[in-house]
Amino acid sequence: MPLTHIDTIARVNYSEIDKMGVVYHSRYAVWLDVARTEYLRQAGMTYRELEELGFFLVVGDLTMRYHRPARYDDEVRVRCWVRDVASRRVTFAYRLTDAVTGVLLVSAETRMLSLNHQFHPTRIPPEVLALLQPAADPA
């Protein structure tokens, strides 16, 4: 059965908040990276193994919509899934919620481009495409 999505949990630490007491906006991008990397691992291949196959998946586009702030010591659930796949691109989508209340904090998407080690666009290998099955947006 193909992987439809994964959930990771991040607890907001003090170094991640700004003077207003909310998570600094760039910290969310780090949590997206953690979730995306874990998605690949649970699908059956680590990012290191992807690199050993001769290619990188790099962020070509990142969009985030902030709905509500996360604050110090909150637990944030980061849900990640594959929204779309093409021969040289994979789009991951994310939904970040308060892990206790379920309140939506951030919705996001990253379009990952496939590059070879010379940083030229390249096709995603078939064995990797088989792991990256698009799924309907989970609730």
CA angle 51, 31, 99 (to 5 degrees): 135
C-alpha closest to that of 97 among 79, 115, 120: 79
Q: Where are the domains of the chain?
A: 6-129
CATH architecture of structural domain 6-129: Roll (3.10)
The stretch 110-132 carries a mean pLDDT of: 95
pLDDT, tens digit (0-9, with 9 covering 90-100), for 50-73: 999 999 999 999 999 999 999 999
Whether the pLDDT of residue 2 is over 90: the answer is no
For residue 1, pLDDT over 80 is answered with: no
Residue 12: what residue type? V
Q: Write the pLDDT tens digit of every residue in 26-51.
A: 999 999 999 999 999 999 999 999 99
Torsion of CA 99, 15, 38, 115, to 10 degrees: 130
State the pLDDT at residue 139.
Answer: 66
